[in-house]
Structures are given as structure tokens and as C-alpha cells.
Amino acid sequence: MDSIMTSSRIESTVKTMEYISSHTTIPAPRVHFHDSSHDNPLDAPFIVMDFIDGVPIPFSNFDPCDTQQLTNVYKQICRISYELSKLRFDQIGSMSTTPDPNVLLGPKFSWNGTQYGPFSSAHDYYRTLASRYWKDAMSSMDTAILTLPESWTWKNASASEKDLFTAFLHLQCVRLLDSEILGPQFCLQHHDFKLRNILIKGLRIVAVIDWDECGTVPLIGYDPVSFALTDDLDMCLQIFSEVEEAESGDRSISQCYNSRTATLARFLETSLQPYRVSFAGEIFEFLYSMSWENTSDYMKRTCMRQALELAASE
């Protein structure tokens, strides 16, 4: 990441935490001062914020096998998730780094030194995500190769082949999106809203950290339970649903969570993750209704051939 991108990210992070502190009850560290340049005694950008007397949930004394403790903690996290979902914006982006107080949102993401956004259309946003991922993955491949050996399998594929395969799946996702269902509502998503970034003291959540992974997303693509462990996903969705109904009188976010459009939107969002290839199996299963583990190598080779042919045609 170059110095300009680093400085911009620092400024956006600070503005995000300030916005969260002034518009919600979510416990975020208070920023005392920061410097987003390299021209300081540390020779690096930095943020000085509150010391939080708490530890990340996975390293705490919290007992996940105690149902009462588990429910108590998950309810607190779901309330935080609900508060984020209620923040409304008219564009998709991250907190603006411009000095103009009237400009709330700036670019959503950067790729190879280029910034993208803010976006006013959910479909444009998702199409751009898939396109940028595809072009980035394609640039590392030898597109002159149109055939694969019969010995090719996902397990023996190179990193660049797996990346192209996954990028191709993202393109299939965007083709299935229903623009009308996407809607014009956008909310705030902490893109690394994991238990490791939620600090706890005893059984009380005292802070949510790492706000540099944050930006607005289409409401239908909002993930209210991104923190949940796989085995706890259904439980967390149920708790969020109860919080949502208690606070707003409906369950619109939780009810659309498993819809096709919402699922596709969350898959497309994974293109921003550094470990995006790890979602290949889950996306493949959703698109083709086949078990990733039990699908024959022939079917995966067919998908890879289609990806290579598309890359070569461009």
C-alpha cells in the first residue's frame, strides 16, 4: 500500500470512529490525535486513542459452552450490528477524507492505486466490484492457455488459477442480481466485524475496534451476523431478528438474509477480502447447487475452462 493510500485510510478510519461515537451508542475508542503523514517523529502514520480495558472475545475468559453467557454476549453484539444497520446514507463509499464538511462519503475502495466510488447505484457498485476483481485476477494469468490438462484439479491449481476461478464465480453472481430488488437504501458495514475485533470485560462488551475496514453497503447486502461462528450462525440470526423486531417492529433485514439477492450481494462483497479465494467453494455450491467437496474434478475443470475462455476473449 503506497503512502497516499495509507494516509487516506488513516483519515477515513478516524472520521469513521468519530461518526460512530457521535451517532450511535456503539463503544468505539475515542481518538485523541493522529497524523496521517510520514512527516512526524515516528516516520509513519499513527492514531492515538483510548486504552480499552478489555480483551478480544476469543482470548477472554468468556465460556462459549455456557448457553446463558453465549446468549448474553451475542445479544450485545446483535444490538451493535442493528445500530450499524440503522445508519442511512445516500451513497456507497467510505468516510470522506476531504476537508469539506459537506462531503460525508468518499471512494469505497482502491485497486492498483485507483480509487472507486462513491456509488449511487447498488448494481453499479457490485458490477464494479466483480469487474475489478476479474481484471486483477486475469492480469496474472497466461490467457493464451485455453485448455487444461485432464489432471487439473482445484487442489493442484496454482494461486493465480484459483484466483481466476473465484473471480469468474463473482461474475456469475453479478449476472444473477435483480437490480429492482437491490433498492436504494445504504447502511454502514464494519467489514471486519469479527469476534477478534470485539473487546470484552467480564461479560460486557467494552469496545469494537479496527474501524479501517468500514464503509457503506446496499442494505440488502448488509451482513448482520458476520461475527458469528459457523455453528452459531442460525442462533445469531435469530437473536438479531428478535433485536430488530423489538427495536423497529419488523424483521426486514433478518428476513431477507437468506434470499437469493442478499446472498449474492454478500458473496460479491467478499471480493474486497484478502482471503477471497476461500469463498470459492461456498459460492460454487450456491451457483451450481452442487456440494463443493463431492463435486467431480470434471465439473470444476469445466468451470475453469469457461473462465480461461472468457479471459482469452478479452
Task: Over range 90-114, report the average pLDDT.
Answer: 89
Residue 142 predicted with pLDDT over 90: no
Residue 313 predicted with pLDDT over 90: no
Model pLDDT, residue 111: 82
- Domain chopping of the chain, boundaries: 55-313
Q: 245-299 pLDDT, tens per residue?
A: 999 999 999 999 999 999 999 999 999 998 999 999 999 999 999 999 999 999 9
Distance in angstroms (rounded) separating the CA atoms of residues 311 and 314: 5
Task: Over range 81-101, report the average pLDDT.
Answer: 93
What number does CATH give the domain 55-313?
Answer: 3.90.1200
